[in-house]
Amino acid sequence: MSELIQIGGMNERPKPPRPEDLSLRFSDRAIRELEALETHYPERKACILPALWIAQREYGGYLSGEALAEVAFRLDRSYAEIEGVATFYSMYNTAHPVGRHMIEVCTCLTCQICGAYPIAEYLKEKLGVGFGETTSDGVFTLHEVECLDACDRAPLIQVGDEYYGPVDKAYLDNLLDRLRSEAASSVVKLADEIVQVHLRETERDR
Amino acid sequence: MAAAPTTDTVTISINDVEIEVPKGELIVDAVKRLGLEIPIFCYHSRMKPVGMCRMCLVEVGFKQPDGSVRKMPKPQAGCTLPASEGMAVYTDTELVHKDRRGVLEFLLINHPLDCPICDRGGECPLQNNTLFYGPSTSRFIELKRHLPKAFPLSRYVTLDLERCIQCGRCVRFTEEISGDAQLAFRFRGANMQPTSFQLTEFESKFSGNVIEICPVGALTSTKYRFRARPWDLETKPAICTVCSNGCSVWFDYRVGKFVRLNGRVNEAVNEEWTCDRGKFGHDFYNSPKRLLAPALRKEDALRTANWAEAYAAILEAFEPGGNAVAALTGPMVSNESYYLLQKLFRGVFRSNNLDHRWTRHLSAASDRLESKMGMPTVATSIEAFEHKSAVLAIGTSLADEEPILFLRLRKAWFKNGTKVVVACDRDTDADSFAHLVLRYRPGTEMALAGGLLAAAVESGRATVPDPVREDLKRYSPSAAASATGVPEDRIREAADILGPNAAIVTTHRLLDVADAQGTLEYLAGLAMCLRAEFNLYALGANDQGALELGIHPELLPSGVALADAEAAAEVGRTMGIEIPREPGLGTHELLRACADGRIKALWLVGCDPFALHADRDLVQRALEGVEFLVVQDIVETEATSYASVILPMLGPAEQDGTYTNMERRVQRLRQVIPDAGDAKPAWRIFAEAMLRAQPQTPFFSAEEIMEEIARVAPAFEVARYDRLGHEGTRL
């Protein structure tokens, strides 16, 4: 929101995309899943959350404006409403494109006592990024998160749908090397897992 | 038919005073019955309550069998709490006061308190509530949050995020009232921001309303920003004259200059909303192109003249009269002025060459539905749409043409489940809540109207005379479907939805299409057969008044046809003039007559033919061809450069007068801002011209003219100034 009013300027905002200008990217599989989801609820508004997960998977882990617009279009809701929902929840990545793997470091009480901060500092130094940032090679995004509900394994980190802990520096070195060599995105995998949870057994398409 | 609704009541006590209120009434409204007030921010009586701001906290308990009151352990939000039997509400306890102080202290933590430079300062609910209910000091000594101070959401609305208290009124307005849902809360908690999708333009047609309902200065009007302090402004009630809805508004002005316009409550018309076209469409009052003095063409230049010279020149050109003179009018002229104009032309210049219509199709007097089918063309009031079971809107984009009717129709659907059938050749905003959308090919309106009637006849719900039945054969639903591109079953379904409690809505825009007459007749026939109501609404602020008051080549005031010699003569006697017998020319014929020199003198009253008429070339030839051209207008237009005489006219809010809106509601607009320059009200110009032509007692005020109108056109009896209701009266 840096474009403040300019005196004497036109102060025109870009127009919201028109439906016919959208470049729809949902795969056939995604469309089938969405159609199945619509049968679960009395109205389409209820599909917004799972549809956003589908979009997060289809758009490679990041919900761009186009992704939000596509969800809005497919559910016949307003763009703003979809964006409002997506930006409310922290697990939808709406701020900027994320890396292939999202490393989420728990810094809540138990992890903190068991040394989460040195772990976080080590990761920041090793990856060369701060919290909320993505490495320049686009592999890792580092995040600080609240309690992950696995205090017995503190200090704990989450990558995609996997918990790792207790972690130490050597463990992290190994893990980062392994993740770097994995071509598949664990962010997309997590999104897919969540979509599958929303679907009934018969509707799953694997 | 609709039985009076029986309302269950419950007995509640408010501050230990027992009172009976309708069951389910919200506590925030119920306390008003005792003259009490609960402070609010997010609650708005026309929208669903959400309980977001917590300002309306009250203590609530229930009467126990032993007569004592057992209070709930925590205060409740009065805006989400429906009244129920035995409820005891306390709005004035120590706890409530403490809670209110707490809520306000919390809201003020993140509020910038830049009241000295805030547009809202002085009329701000946050200031008012803080004064009456808030803490006098703050304990907050940390840094305040900082956010964009002047973000342009659209050309009209500027967002100051720091001031937002996150009440959600604007978001709910776009969801519930205007229906475009273009605003939503992004992010959450302290970062929550009411903004548009990806910060794109907030292009709602009703965006101005969010400025008014914002309880702080977060959403501000780009045009009004920093222009005035509210206590510097003078405010008077007025009527918006931009379109035919005739919304009630507050006109705010400062040192005689129009500054801004706000919605005024009129339950029968606009409730309290305005559209952007109206709210931001009154710039002409301050236009640098305002006409302020009469001007006369001498040799090849227009030179400022005085009124006497102007009248002398006009009378010299118009006195020969008869078919050689004519007048065309625009929509923003008062009833009184229209009446006097036609009296001047018929009585003094002995000419019926008068018209106010600029549509492609001009119905001849004998073709009007009133005379041909006995069908009124304005039947349903705006308010009545709320209780219609079904509405067919055909050939019109309501949000653009009748914006307030659009809001009312949307409310009918939202609240009462009215089934709306939208038939238009393009996408319209009403599609979003339409039960059925009939998207026909441009130019096939008549086939669709015929198809609908034929479908109603086929289903046995409508009976028509045999000749009509024969005629309808060419528009059987299947034939109509192939002609219009609308699926046959949809045509049948649309016809099935309509019934006795339905209304058909169309506007004068339909008169621009091919076969307008046939389309109208089919639609009127459809309404007649199904006992539904048919409405052909006007588009200009006072088009309806111009029609009722005889700005028409073949119709006299009160709709008497010129062809009806006896009735016409009677109208003439009441007016005190002799009505010329020969019918005048309609707009198109009239312009053609100007172009080929048959009409020597033309008077344009508040209209720019270049802007209103489809055929630019014809207009140009007409204005060049006519020998003497009077352009009477508020601002300079393209036509003024062709003028022989320019007469400056006052705007609607600068004079006293009445306006007839689309539903035939006559509303009075008193003078709000002082006269601009030498300009005069239109009616005074006509009265002075009449006086110069024929010695007589002139009209001294608009009120006197309305007295005469009421005698000539008895429908206007209710519009006499001493009878006219506060919210206007329907004829």
CB < 8 Å from B in window 172-201 of A:
none
Task: Give the model's pLDDT for residue B503.
Answer: 94
What are the phi and psi torsion angles at B396 (to 5°)?
-145, 140
B158 at the A interface (CB within 8 A)?
A: yes
Q: Over pLDDT 70: what percentage of chain A?
A: 100
Determine, for residues B184 and A3 on separate chains, whether the beta-carbon distance falls below 8 Å.
no
CATH 3.40.228.10 domain extents, chain B? 365-537
- Alpha carbon dihedral A54, A59, A62, A66, in 10-degree steps, equals -100
Label residue B395 by pLDDT band (50, 70, 90). very high
Task: Give the model's pLDDT for residue B726.
Answer: 82
Sign of the CA dihedral running B445, B451, B456, B457: positive
When the candidates are 3.30.70.20, 3.10.180.10, 1.10.3720.10, 3.30.300.160, the CATH number that belongs to B108-136+143-221 is 3.30.70.20
Cα separation of B95 and B58, whole Å?
9
Of the given ranges (B246-260, B453-467, B595-609, B634-648), which has the lowest mean pLDDT?
A: B453-467
Proportion of chain B in helix, strand, coil states, percent, rounded to 5: 40, 20, 45
Mean pLDDT, to the nearest integer, of B436-450? 92
Residue B628 has pLDDT above 80, yes or no: yes
- Choose among A2, A12, A16: nearest Cβ to B197: A16
Mean pLDDT, to the nearest integer, of B625-650? 94
Residue B408 has pLDDT above 80, yes or no: yes
Determine, for residues A15 and B201 on separate chains, whether the beta-carbon distance falls below 8 Å.
yes
The three-state secondary structure class of B56 is coil
Determine, for residues A13 and B199 on separate chains, whether the beta-carbon distance falls below 8 Å.
yes
Predicted complex: ipTM over 0.95: no
CATH numeric code, B295-356+551-652+678-722: 3.40.50.740
CATH numeric code, B230-286: 2.20.25.90
| AA identity, residue B199 | L
Neighboring chain B residues of A8 at a CB cutoff of 8 Å: none
Cα separation of B340 and B686, whole Å?
6
Cα separation of B531 and B524, whole Å?
10
Determine, for residues A16 and B181 on separate chains, whether the beta-carbon distance falls below 8 Å.
no
- HEC profile of B213-272: HCCCCCEEECCCCCCCCHHHCEEEEEECCCCCCCCEEEEEEECCEEEEEEECCECCCCEC
pLDDT digits (tens, 9 = 90+) for B312-370: 999 999 988 889 999 999 999 999 999 999 999 999 999 999 999 999 999 888 888 88
Task: Give the model's pLDDT for residue A127.
Answer: 95
- Whats the size of chain A, residue-wise? 206
pLDDT digits (tens, 9 = 90+) for B10-66: 999 999 999 999 999 999 999 999 999 999 999 999 999 999 999 999 999 998 888
Q: How many C-beta neighbours within 10 Å does residue B259 have?
A: 21
Q: Looking at CA atoms only, how far is residue B49 from chain A in angstroms?
A: 18
Label residue A188 by pLDDT band (50, 70, 90). very high
Neighboring chain B residues of A65 at a CB cutoff of 8 Å: 197-198
Neighboring chain B residues of A13 at a CB cutoff of 8 Å: 152-154, 196, 199-202
- Choose among A4, A13, A77: nearest Cβ to B201: A13
Determine, for residues B198 and A65 on separate chains, whether the beta-carbon distance falls below 8 Å.
yes
What crossing angle do the helices spanning A186-198 and A48-58 adopt, rounded to 10°?
A: 150
* B323 Cβ neighbours under 8 A, 6+ residues apart: B351, B353, B582, B584, B598, B599
User: What is the residue-averaged pLDDT of chain A?
Assistant: 92
Residue B3 has pLDDT above 60, yes or no: no
Of the given ranges (A133-147, B190-204, B304-318, B367-381), which has the lowest mean pLDDT?
A: B367-381
Residue B7 has pLDDT above 80, yes or no: no
CATH 3.30.70.20 domain extents, chain B? 108-136+143-221
Chain B residue at shortest CA distance from A95: B187
Residue B83 has pLDDT above 90, yes or no: yes
Residue A85 has pLDDT above 90, yes or no: yes
Q: Does domain B365-537 have CATH number 2.60.40.1180?
A: no
- CATH class label, B24-106: alpha beta
Spatial contact of B337 and B313, defined as CB atoms under 8 Å apart: no
CATH 3.40.30.10 domain extents, chain A? 101-183
CATH 2.20.25.90 domain extents, chain B? 230-286
Task: Give the model's pLDDT for residue B1.
Answer: 43
Mean pLDDT, to the nearest integer, of B198-202? 93
Determine, for residues B158 and A5 on separate chains, whether the beta-carbon distance falls below 8 Å.
yes
Mean pLDDT, to the nearest integer, of A95-107? 94
Q: Provide the token pair at B420.
A: 């709306």
H and E: helices and strands count for chain A: 8, 5
Neighboring chain A residues of B219 at a CB cutoff of 8 Å: none
Longest dimension (CA), chain A: 61
Cα separation of B277 and B288, whole Å?
20
A20 at the B interface (CB within 8 A)?
A: no
Label residue B465 by pLDDT band (50, 70, 90). confident
Kindly provide the residue ranges of all beta strands, DSSP E only, lying in B301-374, ordered along the sequence: 301-304, 325-329, 354-355
Task: Give the model's pLDDT for residue B6.
Answer: 61
CATH 3.10.20.740 domain extents, chain B? 24-106
Mean pLDDT, to the nearest integer, of B718-722? 91
Q: How many C-beta neighbours within 10 Å does residue B342 have?
A: 28
- CATH class label, A101-183: alpha beta
Residue A57 has pLDDT above 50, yes or no: yes
Mean pLDDT, to the nearest integer, of B94-114? 94
Count of CA atoms in the C-beta half-sphere (13 A) of B730 = 13
Q: Provide the token pair at B42.
A: 């997010």
User: What is the residue-averaged pLDDT of chain B?
Assistant: 92
The pTM of the full predicted model, rounded to 2 decimals, is 0.92
Count of CA atoms in the C-beta half-sphere (13 A) of B568 = 19
